[in-house]
Amino acid sequence: MPSGTAYPYDAEGTACIGYLALPDGEGPFPGILVSPAFGGLSDMDRATCDRLAAEGYVALGVDYYSDGRHSTDRAQAAEWMAELQGNRPLLAVRMQAALRTLREVPQTGARIGAMGYCFGGKSVLDLARSGAQFDAGVTLHGVYDAPPEGSQKMTPALLICDGWDDSLCPPEAKVALAAELTAHCDDWQMLAFGHTGHAFTNPKAAVGNGFGYSASADRRSWRALTGFFDEVLRPEG
Amino acid sequence: MPSGTAYPYDAEGTACIGYLALPDGEGPFPGILVSPAFGGLSDMDRATCDRLAAEGYVALGVDYYSDGRHSTDRAQAAEWMAELQGNRPLLAVRMQAALRTLREVPQTGARIGAMGYCFGGKSVLDLARSGAQFDAGVTLHGVYDAPPEGSQKMTPALLICDGWDDSLCPPEAKVALAAELTAHCDDWQMLAFGHTGHAFTNPKAAVGNGFGYSASADRRSWRALTGFFDEVLRPEG
């Protein structure tokens, strides 16, 4: 079983501490960014990186807050998130730095994906909106509001996975994102799970008010995600 | 390679001519109904049955028009479709007869799925709406208007696949179906493909005006469908 290590990197002069998991072997392997929910990079994200490494991907856990900040205190995490939510270009800069870092890992091959949960889903969208070059992006119970700066042409193929009952992305938000993607992204898909709320991948998320863990949506979204990355990042089969 | 045969059956006194494809071996195998687009049962549907049989399913192509009627003449097919569209209970009866027929095939096991294209997608929904017992349903560029008779509790898990630009199911129709499923079906998913119109599985469908073949959506929907049927119809793995 592969396991990763803390991985410091620079974001335009700001020190970030990611997490790097490598497959066995010399590579090159396709790379995948794993962008965390609003608490910052957690053991759950590290486990996702390990799981992707076991599937043959170089996986870099993203530290978009910098300094390796992580909190299980919702008020603290919300404060950190508000700073980036209020400065979307900075969020894009932090994501671009992670993308560059992943590309420079010696084992990383030409093709790159990115996936993110909740605010990390937004960070993947914002990376695409910034015009950054990568191949495939997945959001899992992401948040969709477009930045005031608008969007560049998006280069990656995108797969959007969410719960139909997610109170952070009601049907109007899904329809609005679809319109944005139709205008800016040549290849996108949306997969919505009925009777499913926000944070459905998180076993600790209590069910109610448009939130909550769903074992079936967690499993099905992982199957969709791995199938999609396999298709786009390993097209030679 | 398995191949099937014409398979006559009775729908409450009306003679229907389906198509039955069997896997190699004695079974039991899960069964799948294949309900055609509005032209009626075609060689494309028979090929789908053969493909499902190769994957280990007993597949029955449905003759919802009866008498084995099929036409490539759109006006003729539209006339036949209008008759069933105006008599949704009859559509349900025809689908229930096909379901019963599939169950009675000696090689068919306990679990049953149903899939359908276009008006055949509606027929799968109407079978579920009628309260019929089966396990999994998939619609591919289906049509969603609920019957005036309303809906019973739906027993199958449902996967709805469509194109975001499908002129026969615009965003409002998708949102309305999601509301209906939320009320009547305990397990449902929707997968929408961007830049994709109606009839995306049909290589003969010209692209434009919310219609058209899409090789990527065709391939991706097949992957989603086979993964879903495998999960629900062969839960033992």
Q: Percentage of chain A with pLDDT > 90?
A: 98
Two tokens, residue B164: 């975001």
Give the closest of B171, B187, B194 to A189, CB-based: B194
- CB pair distance less than 8 Å for B164 and A194: no
Q: Is B182 within 8 Å of chain A by CB?
A: yes
> Would you state the pLDDT for residue A32?
99
Judged by CB atoms closer than 8 Å, whether chains meet at A181 and B171 is answered as no
Q: How many CB atoms lie within 10 A of CB A5?
A: 10
Is the Cβ of B188 closer than 8 Å to some Cβ of chain A? yes
Find the mean pLDDT for residues B62-74: 97
Residue B1 pLDDT > 90: no
Contact state of A190 with B185 under an 8 Å Cβ cutoff: no
Query: How many domains does chain A divide into?
Result: 1
pLDDT of residue B10: 98
Q: Give DSSP secondary structure letters for A66-103.
A: STT---S-HHHHHHHHHHHHT-HHHHHHHHHHHHHHHH
DSSP string, A95-157: HHHHHHHHHHSTTEEEEEEEEEETHHHHHHHHHHHTT---SEEEEES---PPPTT----B-SE
Q: Does B176 touch chain A (CB under 8 A)?
A: no
Residues of chain B numbered 190-229 and touching chain A (CB < 8 Å): 190-195, 216, 220, 223-224, 227
Is the pLDDT score of A147 beyond 90? yes
Q: Is the pLDDT assigned to residue A2 strictly greater than 60?
A: no
Question: Which whole number is the average pLDDT over B159-179?
Answer: 97
CA distance A72 to chain B (A): 31
pLDDT band at B236 (very low <50, low <70, confident <90, very high): confident
Structure tokens at B220: 């991706």
Q: Token digits for A51?
A: 């799981």
Residue B3: pLDDT above 90? Answer: no
pLDDT average, residue stretch B208-224: 96
Contact list, A164 vs chain B (CB under 8 Å): 178, 182, 190
User: Residue A170 is encoded by which pair of tokens?
Assistant: 């009601």
A146 near B CB under 8 A? no
Between A140-144, B3-7, B131-135, B215-219, the lowest mean confidence (pLDDT) is in B3-7
Distance of alpha carbon B237 from its chain centroid, rounded? 24
User: B194 and A171 in contact by Cβ < 8 A?
Assistant: no
Would you state the pLDDT for residue B214? 97
Question: For A13-33, how does the pLDDT look when each residue is reduced to its tens digit (9 = 90+)?
Answer: 999 999 999 999 999 999 999
Answer for the pair B189, A220: CB distance below 8 angstroms, yes or no.
yes
What is residue B189's predicted lDDT score, i.e. its pLDDT?
98
Averaged over A174-193, what is the pLDDT? 98
Confidence of residue B13 (pLDDT cuts 50, 70, 90): very high
CA of B171, closest CA in chain A: separation in Å? 7
Q: Is the pLDDT of residue B199 over 60?
A: yes
What are the tens digits of pLDDT across the range A169-182?
999 999 999 999 99
pLDDT at A158 over 70: yes
Chain B hits for A227, CB-CB cut-off 8 Å, are: 223, 227
Residue type, A73: D
**H or E stretch including A191?**
strand A188-193
**pLDDT the model gives residue A3:** 76
Name the minimum distance, in Å, from the CA of A178 to any CA of chain B: 8
Closest-CA residue of chain B to A220: B228
C-alpha B201/C-alpha B80 separation (Å) is 22
Alpha-carbon span B173 to B190, nearest angstrom: 12
**What is the overall mean pLDDT for chain A?**
97
Residue A83 backbone phi and psi in degrees, to 5:
-65, -45
Residue A56: pLDDT band with limits 50, 70, 90: very high
A154 vs A165: CA distance, rounded Å: 27
B231 C-beta neighbours (distance < 10 Å), count: 17
Domain limits for position A169:
5-233
Buried b or exposed e, range B62-73, using 16+ CB within 10 angstroms: bbbbbeebbbee
Q: Which of B164, B185, B216 to mutate to test the interface with A (most CBs of A within 10 A)?
A: B164
The mean of the pLDDT values for chain B is 97
Report the candidate in B140, B136, B143, B36 with the shortest Cα–Cα distance to residue B88: B143
Domain of A150, CATH number, reads 3.40.50.1820
Answer whether residue B40 shows pLDDT above 60: yes
Q: CA of A169, closest CA in chain B: separation in Å? A: 13
Give mean pLDDT, residues B162-175: 97
| Those residues with Cβ within 8 angstroms of residue A206's Cβ, 6 or more apart along the chain or in another chain | A212, A213
Of A149 and B2, more confident: A149
ipTM: 0.96
Are the Cβ atoms of A190 and B187 closer than 8 angstroms?
Answer: no
Q: Which sign does the torsion angle of CA A29, A95, A5, A36 carry? A: negative
Structure pTM? 0.97
State the Cα–Cα distance between residues B94 and B115, nearest whole angstrom.
15
CB contact under 8 A, B194 and A182: yes
